[in-house]
Amino acid sequence: MAAGRARLAGVDVRCFTVGPVAENCYLVRESSAPGARALLVDPGDEPDRLAQAIDSLQARVEAILITHCHFDHIGAVAPMARKTGAPVWVPAGEQHVLADINSYVPWPGFGPFESWQAEHTVVGGERLELAGLTIEVIATPGHSPAHVSYWIADELALFSGDVLFRGSVGRTDLPGADWNTLLASIRALLDRLPGETVVYPGHMGITTLERERLTNPFLAEIAR
pLDDT above 70 covers what percent of the chain?
A: 95
> Residue 224: pLDDT band by 50, 70, 90 thresholds?
low
Q: Read off the amino acid at residue 6.
A: A
Over range 17-40, report the average pLDDT: 95
Identity of the amino acid at 151: W
Contacts 24+ apart (CB under 8 A), 27-32: 27/53, 27/54, 27/57, 27/59, 27/61, 28/131, 28/133, 28/152, 28/157, 28/159, 29/57, 29/59, 29/131, 30/131, 30/132, 30/133
- Is 2 a residue whose pLDDT tops 80? no
- For residue 117, the one-letter residue type is Q
31 or 97: whose pLDDT is higher? 97
pLDDT in the model for residue 5: 47
Grade residue 12 by pLDDT with cuts at 50, 70 and 90. Answer: very high
Residue-number span of the structural domain to which 166 is assigned: 3-223
Residues in the chain: 224
Domain total in the chain: 1
Would you call 188 helix, strand, or coil by DSSP?
Answer: helix
What is the C-alpha R_g of the chain?
A: 16
The per-residue pLDDT for 1 is: 36
What CA–CA distance (Å, rounded) separates 98 from 189?
26
221: pLDDT strictly greater than 70: yes
Domain harbouring 78, CATH code: 3.60.15.10
Quick one: average pLDDT of 24-53? 95
pLDDT surpassing 60 at residue 140: yes
Closest by CA to 88, choosing from 70, 67, 103, is: 67
pLDDT for the residue 32: 87
Residue among 21, 146, 22 at smallest CA distance from 4: 22
